[in-house]
């Protein structure tokens, strides 16, 4: 007994001062543009949800500002052949419920992503055939076919490892009290008001975490979000409108951090999806090219986005090693546009209906396109639609042109395959080109960066000719924060990583 007491006293004297010294006390408040959906990495579907997961759930891998893949819960990896990935796990990592994060947990989580009913992750890692536990810190992932985007998929929700014990106990209700291996553990959620996470002292990298608590607050109205930042009611805002950027920049108490986004804004054109593909716009690539030539992307960006976004004519981010230099947005050329329309033999003005979301900025986009294209001989009609309805219309092919954006993925496959491959789920235009299909499939199978780059360059050039999707611009991640916050590293995925973040008192 005496020895036990002594041991306990020693333990207390050993740990207590260190704890008292290190334990952070500050709270970080982050405003989100929307209320996240389910807080279960397997079922989650929203962009803002991913921002919350940055605090809650670590992933096997992460990406940095150069889009390089870095180990997180994995300590390293090796492709033993083109279909076998061996993951070495970081040792002594704990879940927030104290259970060990080991190979069995990785196997469990990957299988959960693959088989759980309604899983949104299945499509991202469906190339996995089975997962084997080699030893407590080694996992072997066997693929059905070579699949080079796999590591990139594991840098997002598909790579998040959940506590098997907690997941088994909660079943479908895991989202109400998620347990992962991230720096903060789930404390409370009040729908539409706040998500509260508290520091997890057992986090493997706890020394890099300088907050006791993080509160995520959905504030839908962009001017109210800004007002909260200005008034000091929140410390960070994950997205500031481009038109509000100057207000943040000119305020000495605030700071603005910009980075290129991984996604794009585009017009999807119905080229082969049901009856409405037979209109001249969908039938003849020359007509679509004429429309593109009538657009001045730089002027559009100046008007709508304060000049902050970048013009583009492809789906891949310019920060990516797979960016196709050969495909650049064409300069505005109304004369050539008119000539193309004449060549195509269409009667002008040619009526085109463009569906845009019912937000002020989307409407403005429609109006700018309307007036620019009118000069070339288009009569662009704008149809405003609430988002859920527009999704339905796009899915059914009941549209001619549809303005829609994509939040982007680090691997180019995530910006291309689902949108351009024949029969792919997000291929609203109904585009089908056997060459493009072949290149996209090949690029999934080869791992050499040079080879993949060549394949994606071919895809970019071909789709810029066929124009099933007219890429307009690359948005910026515009993060606003109090000048007291430091250590924020902007990564193109737009997430707020909490590691290394600090705030002056």
Partner 1 sequence: MGSHFNRRLAQVVPTILLVSILVFGLQQLMPGDPALVLAGETPDPQVIAQIRTELWLDRPLPIQYLHWIGNVLQGNLGFSWRIREPVAQLILTKLPVTAQLAVMAFVIAVMIGVPAGVLSAVKRNTVFDYAASAIGLAGLSTPNFWLGIMLILLVSVQLGWLPPSGYVPLTEDWRQSLATTIMPAFVLGNAIAAVLMRHTRSAMLTAMGQDYVRTARAKGLRERIVVIHHALRNALVPVVTLGALELGTLLSGAVLTEQVFSIPGFGKMIVDAVFNRDYPVVQGVVLVTATVYILLNLLADALYVLINPRMRAT
Which residues of this protein are in contact with partner 1, per CB under 8 A? 35, 37-39, 45-47, 117-120, 122-124, 172-173, 175-176, 189-194, 217-221, 223-224, 227-228, 230-233, 386-389, 391-393, 395, 406-407, 418, 425-426
Sheet holding 310-311, edge to edge: 310-311, 469-474, 264-269, 401-406, 350-357, 378-385
Task: Tell me how far, at minimum, the Cβ of 481 lies from partner 1, in Å.
Answer: 16
DSSP letter, residue 318? T
Nearer to partner 1, 36 or 183 (CB): 36
Contact 143, 127 (CB under 8 A): yes
Quick one: 43 exposed, middle or buried, by C-beta within 10 A (0-12, 13-18, 19+)? buried
Task: Tell me how far, at minimum, the Cβ of 54 lies from partner 1, in Å.
Answer: 17
Quick one: 87 exposed, middle or buried, by C-beta within 10 A (0-12, 13-18, 19+)? buried
Task: Tell me how far, at minimum, the Cβ of 191 lies from partner 1, in Å.
Answer: 6
Of 23, 157, 177, 188, nearest to 95 (Cα)? 177
Nearer to partner 1, 194 or 338 (CB): 194
Residues in a beta bridge with 308: none
Nearer to partner 1, 379 or 392 (CB): 392
Nearer to partner 1, 274 or 307 (CB): 274
Task: Tell me how far, at minimum, the Cβ of 324 lies from partner 1, in Å.
Answer: 23
Task: Tell me how far, at minimum, the Cβ of 183 lies from partner 1, in Å.
Answer: 23
Of 25, 485, 51, 495, nearest to 232 (Cα)? 485
Nearer to partner 1, 1 or 388 (CB): 388
Strand extents, DSSP E, 219-371: 236-237, 254-260, 264-269, 310-311, 350-357
Nearer to partner 1, 233 or 486 (CB): 233
Q: How far apart are CA 495 and CA 155, in angstroms?
A: 12
Task: Tell me how far, at minimum, the Cβ of 48 lies from partner 1, in Å.
Answer: 11
Contact 297, 472 (CB under 8 A): yes
Nearer to partner 1, 367 or 398 (CB): 398
Task: Tell me how far, at minimum, the Cβ of 355 lies from partner 1, in Å.
Answer: 12
Task: Tell me how far, at minimum, the Cβ of 381 lies from partner 1, in Å.
Answer: 19
Contact 85, 79 (CB under 8 A): yes
Nearer to partner 1, 202 or 272 (CB): 272
Q: How far apart are CA 504 and CA 101, in angstroms?
A: 33
Task: Tell me how far, at minimum, the Cβ of 67 lies from partner 1, in Å.
Answer: 19
Contact 299, 249 (CB under 8 A): no
Contact 482, 214 (CB under 8 A): no
Nearer to partner 1, 280 or 408 (CB): 408
Q: How many CB atoms lie within 10 A of CB 467?
A: 22
Phi-psi category of residue 377: left, alpha or beta, with phi > 0 → left and psi -120 to 50 → alpha: left
Nearer to partner 1, 322 or 406 (CB): 406
Task: Tell me how far, at minimum, the Cβ of 403 lies from partner 1, in Å.
Answer: 17
């Amino acid at each position: 007994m005496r020895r036990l007491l002594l041991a306990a006293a020693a333990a207390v004297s050993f740990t207590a001062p260190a704890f008292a010294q290190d334990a952070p006390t500050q709270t970080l408040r982050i405003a989100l543009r929307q209320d996240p959906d389910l807080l279960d990495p397997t079922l989650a579907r929203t962009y803002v949800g991913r921002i919350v997961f940055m605090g809650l759930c670590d992933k096997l891998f992460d990406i940095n500002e150069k889009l390089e893949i870095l180990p997180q819960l994995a300590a390293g990896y090796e492709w033993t052949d083109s279909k076998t990935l061996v993951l070495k796990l970081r040792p002594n990592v704990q879940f927030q419920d104290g259970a060990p994060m080991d190979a069995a947990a990785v196997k469990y989580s990957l299988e959960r992503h693959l088989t759980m009913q309604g899983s949104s992750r299945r499509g991202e890692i469906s190339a996995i055939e089975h997962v084997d536990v080699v030893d407590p810190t080694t996992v072997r992932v066997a693929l059905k076919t070579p699949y080079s985007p796999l590591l990139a998929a594991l840098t997002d929700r598909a790579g998040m490892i959940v506590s098997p014990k907690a997941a088994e106990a909660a079943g479908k209700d895991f989202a109400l009290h998620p347990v992962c291996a991230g720096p903060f553990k789930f404390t409370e959620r009040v729908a539409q008001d706040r998500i509260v996470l508290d520091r997890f002292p057992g986090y493997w990298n706890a020394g890099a975490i300088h907050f006791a608590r993080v509160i995520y607050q959905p504030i839908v109205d962009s001017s109210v979000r800004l007002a909260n930042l200005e008034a000091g009611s929140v410390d960070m805002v994950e997205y500031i409108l481009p038109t509000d950027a100057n207000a943040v920049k000119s305020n000495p108490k605030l700071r603005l951090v910009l980075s290129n986004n991984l996604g794009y804004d585009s017009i999807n054109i119905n080229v082969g999806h049901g009856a409405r593909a037979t209109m001249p716009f969908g039938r003849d690539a020359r007509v679509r090219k004429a429309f593109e030539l009538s657009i001045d992307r730089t002027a559009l960006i100046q008007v709508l986005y304060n000049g902050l976004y970048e013009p583009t004519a492809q789906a891949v981010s310019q920060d990516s090693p797979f960016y196709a230099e050969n495909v650049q947005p064409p300069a505005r050329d109304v004369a050539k546009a008119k000539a193309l329309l004449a060549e195509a033999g269409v009667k002008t003005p040619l009526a085109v209906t463009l569906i845009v979301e019912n937000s002020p900025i989307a409407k403005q986009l429609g109006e700018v396109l309307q007036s620019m294209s009118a000069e070339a001989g288009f009569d662009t009609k704008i149809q405003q639609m609430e988002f859920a309805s527009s999704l339905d219309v796009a899915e059914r092919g009941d549209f001619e042109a549809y303005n829609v954006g994509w939040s982007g993925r680090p691997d180019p496959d995530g910006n291309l395959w689902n949108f351009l491959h024949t029969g792919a789920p997000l291929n609203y235009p109904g585009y089908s080109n056997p060459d493009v299909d072949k290149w996209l499939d090949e690029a999934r199978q080869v791992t050499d960066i040079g080879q993949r780059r060549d394949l994606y360059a071919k895809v970019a050039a071909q789709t810029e000719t066929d124009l099933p999707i007219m890429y307009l611009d690359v948005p910026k991640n515009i993060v606003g924060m109090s000048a007291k916050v430091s250590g924020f590293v902007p990564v193109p995925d737009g997430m707020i990583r909490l590691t290394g973040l600090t705030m002056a008192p």
